[in-house]
Structure 1
Amino acid sequence: MSRTIMLIPIGTGVGVTSVSLGMVRAMERQGVAVNFFKPIAQPRPGDHGTERSTTTLRNSSNIQPPEPFAMKYAEGLISSGHTSELLENIVERFREGTKDNDVIIVEGLVPTDKHQFANSVNYSIAKALGAEMVFVTHPSNDSSQQLKERMEIAVSSFGGKQNKSIAGCIINKVGAPIDENDSAGFDLSEMFDIPEGSVNNNLEVLQMFSKSPLPILGCIPWSADLIAPRVKDLAAHLEADILNEGDLENRRLHSVTFCARSIPNMVQHFKPGSMLVTSGDRSDVIIATCLAVMNGMKIGCLLLTGDYTPEEEVWKLCRSAMASGLPVLLIKSNTWQTAQRLQNFNMEIPVDDLERIEKVQEYIASHIDKHWLNTLTEDSSLSRRLSPPAFRYHLTELARKANQRIVLPEGEEPRTIQAAVICAERGIAKPVLLGNPAEIRRVAAQQGIVITDEVEIVNPTDVIEQYVAPMVELRKGKGLTEVVAREQLQDTVVLGTMMLAENEVAGLVSGAVHTTANTIRPALQLIKTAPGASLVSSIFFMLLPDQVLVYGDCAINPDPTADQLADIAIQSADSAIAFGIDPKVAMISYSTGNSGAGSDVEKVREATKIAQERRPDLLIDGPLQYDAAVMENVAKSKAPDSKVAGQATVFIFPDLNTGNTTYKAVQRSANLISIGPMLQGMRKPVNDLSRGALVDDIVYTVALTAIQATQANEKAALAKG
């Protein structure tokens, strides 16, 4: 039986769209089929095209919400006394558009001066759809007591406390800066400067509502990171000319500095992510900005006012800074006029800003009450699927439970530092950065990253000596001497591997700047393969829009034999099981079944036979062409009797050339996230990164490694016991 949750905003500016996005993500994490419905479109001033919430979810997920009714159409029916007709049409569209879903999130109208009928219409829609009502509000300037009273008054308009369809409330933007007019519509220039004492304490709010019959289902702290706009959005708002594009598309702004003073009095305000605003004829500011950029400071952008184009001589001095990605914008208005225009900048999420949408969804989903979410999905009849959000959530939850210490040998690399901080903040692992502490902190400061005490920093020069003797002992069969061991330990990957060999850390993640060989070779020499493993292989988790697939081996074995290919299939199937994926293993070839011949096909056919004999408990079939493995209609034609064809979740490629090419083609062509390579068959987990890895790639690889470490420990304990 499906569940319908209607989010009803109490007042303006509560962020109901963001809460809707977060609720959809929370449901995706639960692995149920979720959909969204905004019954009546409510465009904001300046909006063009389709309804914002609906469009945002269509652009950022695999969800296809029903189309909302136009506000003019709804107003026409309401004003002519035909509200019942409107409700009938809404119910019809709702049922047709969401009939295959388990949970549907419905977003209500925001009560405004123009739409004073919002509350009565919201209540009517909730009753018509049989929805459970969740009120969404924000504290504004209210005390916790005033907020509680305001919510209880609002509830009275929806049947009062005795209405069993009222599930509770979500309090958003707790601690947001509020101006003197009690408005959360602060402008960009002040959004990161929160006056002391302006923050509503989450705990205080929760304690006050503990005395209320209205449960709090989410208490979401305000976060400046969630409203950081792209430079391109601000450039469009200001109608700026682009003097240097740089990283205009992706760079984000976290603060604004108006450079009207002398250089010595301004440089302290040059910060990562800052938009520096100055008159275009201030050559001193322009050059100082470029010097900061050349010294590693990731300035958000440089905005030149007054329609003054920098002199050619100055521009030549700044070429290196321009080449590093600094966006430079030029506008006609003066600095004062620019400050006025910034106050009108729309801080809402653009429908095409997928990175920010993802961040908002994850953040808000993590602040929704888990117990309540479980009650929404406890019905055993609900279908379950491991969607990408569910998989990522599953990873982080398992990693938190594992609570493992993971070493990152590339400790001075910016992405690695940021990933370590995220892992520590989210409790994914206890990260250990190897590198010079001063350099690590310098790089972090340039990126605007604060390294907390939860991130451990180990200086290699302080600890190398203690690993010389153990390393010599491990490699004594190869004639390793202390001199050579000491020299090899200068490589932080080798040092980190020795920390793993000595059980001081549970796993290792490297590869952001090192090659696969640099990462794996020390592990093979010092860690060795797991008991019973004949080889080391790898898999990638491919996060398709509606499911997660496993690809192996795409990183390690160039041309495995049939026996090795069988082992790779078994290792990959076991890894899939360990991470919550039901393994249906397809042995990929250019031929399906007995339709083709040749040594390559015979190798896959033989590998399939060996794997089936070794693990009769697994569903393994091959040879299968890729389309026969993944498409049901092709499978019915080419392999009608196969229990794998058309529904494969694990794909085993015949060689490295095929596997690596396929995974990259699928990843890049479909713009998918892939996590890996995750190594299989090691005695202790060591995982490699792509040198083009994003911060999130590193974070999830750390999570994988932490989980692998726990699984390895459990296997070792079983073997002993």
Structure 2
Amino acid sequence: MNKVIMSHIIMLVPINNNVGSTAISLSLLDFLNKNKHKKESNKSILYISCQNNILNNTAIIINKYFSYFIDILQEINFSNVTLGSSIYFSLLDHLIEKCFENKYLYEFILIEGLNKEKNIYSDQINYDIAQNLNAEVILLSNIIECTIKYYNMKENEIKLFLKKYEYKKFLGVIFNEINSIFLGKKNGFIDKLKFLKNNIIENKKNIILEQLINNTVFPIIAFIPWNKDLMEIFSIDIYRFLNAMPIHISNMYMQNIEKIIIFNRHEKNILHKNNSCILIIVPINEVSNFIQYFIEYYNHKSITVLLSGKLTSIQYLQELCKTLINMNISIFFINKNIIDIICILQNFHFNLNIREKDRINQLQKYISSFFNINKICLFKEKKYTSIIFSPREFCHHLKVLSRRSKKRIILPESYEIRILHAVSICDNLNIAKCVLLGDPQKIYNIAKEKGIYLSKRIEIINPDLVREKYFSQFMRLRKHKGIDEYYAKKQLQDNIILATLMVESDEVDGMVSGSINTTASTIRPALQLIKTNISSSLISSIFFMLLPKKVLIYGDCAININPTAEELAEIAIQSSHSAEIFGIEPRIAMLSYSTGSSGTGQQVEKVKKATSIVKLKRPDLIIDGPIQYDAAVSKKISQLKMPFSSLLGSASIFIFPDLNSGNITYKAVQRSAQLVSIGPMLQGLRKPVNDLSRGSSIEDIIYTIALTAIQSK
């Protein structure tokens, strides 16, 4: 079993709008930093937002205050992407690749998911990201009314959500903004100030919440009541949001604003109203009237002034406001009219990105105080874990492994357009050093006609110039068959046979063929010239089945028609070795129409004997059989049919009793579930040769080239 140490990938998934994602993200980042294992490391956290960081409050605040311990991944933006489009899959692959590159560098990777305001497909996008990265998921929700009835409704909503989106790793739910007076109300900034001024808010945990914490059907990480005190707005917050210019600053500019007033010379009781701090918007042409009024009615309240209008010069404004400056009143200016200012303020939304660091820290401390530390630390208990690959993660893993191998893979079907496309991409991604066997001029002409770029790094060997070189080698390898020179020269006209000889002589590391030729045309020369390795008596095949939640291995679905018990055992052992090469823990199910001793028959006995042979030869392997498919994949069914099975419903390798059942099953699963299958990958040869389906896509060929490169020693 391959064990690895890697960072924890945690993903926050909003299931409602207005859940305070920024506040939760900042608080969780602070919590993770304080609880990291490597205390001496500075940047132990990578933050990733699924929307444009330029518009993302969390990224803005991190850059502003917390970049000393948090790095940000910049290039990810799913906000306006259409689900299932080529751009979507390209972006998803890019995210997976970046996480792979960084998952050994950081202790934590925190991903802030999308809500429906950013993308109507947010639920599915968040699910795809979490599943493909094996992320530990925390759902974010809100509670408008703190009542049992409302909570039960919310609980049912989340249960339905989790039924639809069965996350592999679900940590729990954070309920935020509980009893917020702003939820469900479409009020502008000035109306919200009135709410804050006129409403008495209870910030302590509601008794109902205390009762709910221990009686939920899913884990609760936090119930976080809305806090009026954290919503206070200071005059400097407003000025920063408006990008206003300071004319004079006093210590009053940091006062809490409770009311905004537009100066009106006809209203005489502005300063008599019971407000501890007022922001007064004054048009420039009304400054003289305002000063006259101000001198008459000023009663030492906290006042800050915002001048609006067309700027002539700062000196003029300072002279105009000399009286106010002498009284140490904070004065700012914005080159807009009053209507524009009010319209801009309606979009204020109490954003955190304009707050001072001390106030952000206060918010983090408040929210973190509600975290259920035992539940949020679950991800720390299992530092060493087996790899369970998601589909796109496995594909990326293949690319990484093949890049490390740097092998030369020959492709004899060099005039096929799909082959040329795949070779071009493999060269660009550095998956392998591809060698094309064919007339260079013809290959370049085809590529040019189809708009395929072939780099000069791609080696092209003209078969007509090298056939004679392999004549004696072919005669030596086939002499026991009594072949003559005429037959040998005729056979060498076949480019697949020529390429196979090049593999056998170690001039290249592996071969991929079959896009336009039969399976027999690829495998027969390999058996005759390369032959099986010392430990194998047969060649078998496996397919990598890329299911939504994991990658499974099916064997043998392409080569052996009706293997004996001994051959089945060898296929199982070969498949376990292949699984280990690719980082998949081998857990082998020897399939049958019967589970355990529930059935009898020749086929059942064959599988039972094969299982015993494997256990004898490889007692270290986890294997069970005969076993039905459902008992091999379902823990619940396994407990009913085979309660003492070592597989426990979590098989990763499925060995079919014959080619008939194997081939039918892999095609049925592939087509019905519309999933990707990679293969067949041949096992048992001394050197890797892999067969392509004649219906192979360009992507299939790319991954087959990668498989072949990884198989090469």
TM-score, normalisation: structure 1: 0.54
2:433 is aligned with 1:430: yes
Could you list the per-position Cα deviations for residues 378-428 of structure 1 after superposition, in whole angstroms to 9, with x for gaps in the alignment? 992678522222222221111111100000111111111111111111111
Structure having the higher Rg: 2
SS at match of 2:192: coil
Determine which of 100, 104, 117 is the counterpart of 1:42. 117
| In structure 2, distance between residues paired with 1:653 and 1:572 | 12
Number of the residue aligned with 1:455 = 458
Deviation of 1:433 after TM superposition, in Å, equals 0.9
Match of 1:10 among 54, 63, 80: 54
Which amino acid in 1 is paired with 2:117?
Answer: Q
Partner of 2:644: 641
Paired with 1:606 and 1:514, the residues of 2 have a C-alpha distance of: 36
Question: 1:539: which partner in 2?
Answer: 542
Please name the residue that 1:518 is paired with: 521
Match in the other structure for 2:570:
567
User: 1:162 and 1:467 mapped to 2: Cα distance?
Assistant: 77
3-state secondary structure, aligned to 1:10? helix
What's the counterpart of residue 252 of structure 1?
none
1:76 Cα deviation after fit: 2.4
Residues 24 and 35, structure 1, Cα contact 8 Å, conserved in 2:
no
Residues 62/97 of structure 1: CA separation in 2 closer, same or farther (3 Å cut) = farther
| Distance in 2 between residues matched to 1:78 and 1:509, nearest whole Å | 64
Alpha-carbon distance change, 411 to 377 in structure 1, aligned in 2, over 3 angstroms: farther
Would the aligned equivalents of 1:403 and 1:428 in 2 still touch at CA under 8 Å?
Answer: yes
Q: Is contact 1:608-1:622 (8 Å) kept?
A: yes
Residue in 2 aligned with 1:51?
120
- Provide the C-alpha distance between the structure 1 equivalents of 2:96 and 2:397, rounded to a whole number of angstroms: 16
SS of the residue corresponding to residue 682 of structure 1 reads coil
Are residues 1:694 and 2:697 paired?
yes
SS in 1 for 2:425: helix
Contact 1:551 1:659 in 2 (8 A): yes
Aligned mates of 2:663, 2:674 — CA distance in 1: 16
Superposition deviation, residue 524 in structure 1: 0.4
Name the amino acid aligned to 1:672. L
Superposition TM-score, scaled by structure 2 size: 0.55
What SS does the corresponding residue of 2:567 show, helix, strand or coil?
helix
Q: Tell me, which stretches of 5 or more residues in structure 2 are unaligned?
A: 1-7, 11-24, 26-46, 57-73, 82-87, 145-181, 210-215, 222-236, 242-350, 363-378
- In 1, the alpha carbon distance for the partners of 2:590 and 2:353 equals 62
Contact 2:510–2:709 (CA<8 Å) still a contact in 1?
yes
Structure 1 residues 595 and 612 mapped into 2: Cα distance closer, same or farther (>3 Å)? same
Q: Is the 8 A contact 1:624 1:645 kept in 2?
A: no
How many Å separate the matches in 1 of 2:398 and 2:406? 12
What letter corresponds to residue 660 of structure 1 in structure 2? N
Q: Output the CA distance in 2 between the equivalents of 1:159 and 1:457.
A: 63
1:291-332 residue CA offsets vs partner (Å, 9 max, x unmatched): xxxxxxxxxxxxxxxxxxxxxxxxxxxxxxxxxxxxxxxxxx
Q: Does 1:627 align with 2:623?
A: no
Q: Does 1:678 align with 2:709?
A: no
Q: Does 1:599 align with 2:602?
A: yes
1:76 is matched by which residue type in structure 2? Answer: K
Q: Is the 8 A contact 2:422 2:701 kept in 1?
A: yes
State the match for 2:476 in structure 1: 473
Pair 1:23-2:95 in alignment? yes
Q: 2:192 aligns with which of 77, 81, 89?
A: 81
1:677 deviation in Å? 0.7
Q: What is the distance in 2 between the residues matched to 1:553 and 1:100?
A: 45
Give the RMSD, CA atoms, in angstroms: 4.2
Letter in 2 for 1:394: H
Distance 1:440 1:626, change over 3 A: same
Cα drift, residue 555 of structure 1:
0.6
Structure 2 distance, partners of 1:378, 1:409, is 51
Corresponding letter in the other structure for 1:583: P
Distance 2:380 2:461 in 1: 44
What is the rounded CA distance, in whole Å, between the counterparts of 2:523 and 2:55 in structure 1?
Answer: 57
Unmatched 5+ stretches in structure 1: 44-49, 102-115, 121-153, 166-375, 711-721
Aligned-residue offset at 1:559: 0.3
Counterparts in 2 of 1:10 and 1:454: CA distance versus 1, 3 Å: same
Greater CA drift, 75-84 or 582-591: 75-84
Other structure's SS at 1:417 match: helix
Deviation per CA, 1:608-641, whole angstroms, max 9, x where unpaired?
Answer: 1111111111111100001111111110100000
Looking at structure 2, the residues matched to 497 and 537 of structure 1 have their Cα atoms a distance apart, in angstroms, of 18
Give me the whole-angstrom Cα distance separating, in 2, the residues matched to 1:33 and 1:385: 18
Tell me by how many angstroms 1:78 deviates: 6.5
Q: Relative to 1, partners in 2 of residues 1:588 and 1:645: Cα closer, same or farther, differing over 3 Å?
A: farther
CA distance in structure 2 between the aligned counterparts of 1:439 and 1:690, rounded to whole angstroms: 24
Matches of 2:389 and 2:220 in 1, distance apart?
A: 17
Percent identity (aligned)? 44
Query: Matched residues in 2 for 1:606 and 1:512: separation?
Result: 37
Distance 1:100 1:596 in 2: 46
Given residue 81 of structure 1, which amino acid in structure 2 is its aligned partner? K
SS of match in other structure, 1:559: coil
Cα distance change, pair 484–496 in 1 and its aligned pair in 2 (3 A): same
Matching of residue 654 in structure 1 with residue 657 in structure 2: yes
Q: Secondary structure at the match of 2:442?
A: helix
Letter in 1 for 2:192: G
Q: CA deviation at 1:99?
A: 7.0
Q: CA deviation digits over 1:361-382, x for unaligned, max 9?
A: xxxxxxxxxxxxxxx9999267
CA drift of 1:14 comes to 8.0
Question: Aligned residues, how many?
Answer: 439
SS at match of 1:431: strand
2:96–2:392 contact (8 Å) kept in structure 1: no
Answer whether contact 1:608 1:623 (CA < 8 A) is retained.
Answer: yes
Paired residues of 1:589 and 1:653 also in contact (CA < 8 A): yes
Counterparts of 1:695 and 1:99, CA distance in 2: 44
Q: Does 1:407 align with 2:414?
A: no
Number of the residue aligned with 1:583: 586
Q: Secondary structure at the match of 1:81?
A: helix
Give distance in 1, aligned partners of 2:431 and 2:48: 32
Partner SS for 2:626: strand
Match for residue 293 of structure 1? none
What is the SS of the residue equivalent to 1:585?
A: strand
Contact 1:559 1:654 in 2 (8 A): yes
Match of 1:222 in 2: none
Displacement of 1:514 in angstroms is 1.0
Equivalent-residue separation in structure 2 for 1:677 and 1:418 (angstroms):
20
Contact 1:36 1:65 in 2 (8 A): no
Alpha-carbon contact 1:37-1:54 (below 8 Å) kept? no
Query: 2 CA distance for matches of 1:419 and 1:27?
Result: 25
Q: 1:638 to 1:396 in 2, by over 3 A?
A: same
Q: Give the superposition deviation at 1:158.
A: 7.2
Give the match for residue 335 of structure 2.
Answer: none
> Cα 1:384–1:554, aligned 2, differ >3 Å: closer, same or farther?
closer
Superimposed CA distance per residue, residues 695-716 of structure 1 (whole angstroms, 9 cap, x where no aligned partner): 1111111111111112xxxxxx
Change (3 A) 1:584 1:383: closer
Distance 1:99 1:494, change over 3 A: farther
Shift of 1:591: 0.3
Once the two structures are superposed, what CA deviation does each residue of 1:48-87 show, in whole Å capped at 9, x if it has no partner? Answer: xx624444455788579968999x96882664438999x9
CA contact (8 A) 2:594 2:626 kept: yes
For residues 379 and 612 of structure 1, the distance between their equivalents in structure 2, rounded to whole angstroms, comes to: 29
Structure 2 CA distance for partners of 1:100 and 1:442, relative to 1, 3 Å: farther
Residue aligning to 2:510: 507
Q: Which residue of 2 aligns with 1:150?
A: none
